[in-house]
């Protein structure tokens, strides 16, 4: 049992343990366990936008696009400056075939991103590819 999983057993009300367990499961593509862990974390801290972004990612991987969109939008409602969610929405709208919304989401990401420039370049490349698509 990994330390994070053990922490959730020893202290079931420890938000960061559940968040970490969800992240660990997400990294190994264990979507069901990631969903369960994030749900526990959400119950402990329902106003933390990271939970909704992460739940959105889990729903996206499960191709539950409506639930993913709702989770991402909830994350943005809780934290309008949560830049990473814009990129995730771009990927979601691309998968749904909504080019207009995808481009808008990627542009929002580029406009507000202050991290590694490679991520802004990646989003710009995604926009160019969407514009070229039939």
Amino acid 107: pLDDT:
97
Which of these, 106, 112, 102, 57, lies nearest to 81 by C-alpha position? Answer: 112
The torsion defined by the Cα of 16, 66, 62 and 110, in degrees rounded to 10, comes to -70
Checking if the pLDDT of 117 tops 60, the result is yes
- The dihedral region occupied by 64, where left means phi > 0, alpha psi between -120 and 50, and beta the remainder, is beta
Amino acid 10: pLDDT:
46
Instruction: Note the pLDDT tens digit of each residue in 49-108.
Output: 999 999 999 999 999 999 999 999 999 999 999 999 999 999 999 999 999 999 999 999
Handedness of CA 127, 99, 77, 60 (dihedral sign): negative
Domain regions of the chain by residue span: 1-68, 81-134
Q: How many residues does the chain have?
A: 134
CATH class of segment(s) 1-68: mainly alpha
Instruction: Note the pLDDT tens digit of each residue in 1-50.
Output: 444 454 455 456 788 888 998 999 999 999 999 999 999 999 999 999 99
At residue 2, the 3 state secondary structure works out as coil
Amino acid 9: pLDDT:
56
Pick the more confident residue, 2 or 133.
133
Amino acid 37: pLDDT:
92
């Amino acid at each position: 049992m990994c330390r994070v999983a053990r922490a959730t057993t020893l202290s079931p009300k420890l938000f960061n343990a559940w968040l970490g367990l969800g992240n660990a499961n997400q990294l190994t593509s264990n979507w069901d366990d990631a969903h369960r862990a994030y749900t526990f974390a959400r119950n402990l801290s329902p106003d933390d936008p990271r939970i909704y972004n992460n739940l959105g990612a889990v729903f996206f991987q499960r191709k539950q696009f409506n639930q993913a969109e709702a989770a991402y939008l909830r994350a943005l409602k809780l934290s309008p400056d949560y830049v990473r969610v814009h990129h995730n929405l771009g990927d979601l709208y691309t998968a749904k075939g909504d080019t207009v919304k995808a481009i808008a989401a990627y542009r929002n990401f580029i406009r507000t991103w202050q991290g590694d420039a490679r991520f802004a370049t990646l989003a710009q490349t995604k926009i160019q590819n969407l514009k070229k698509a039939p």
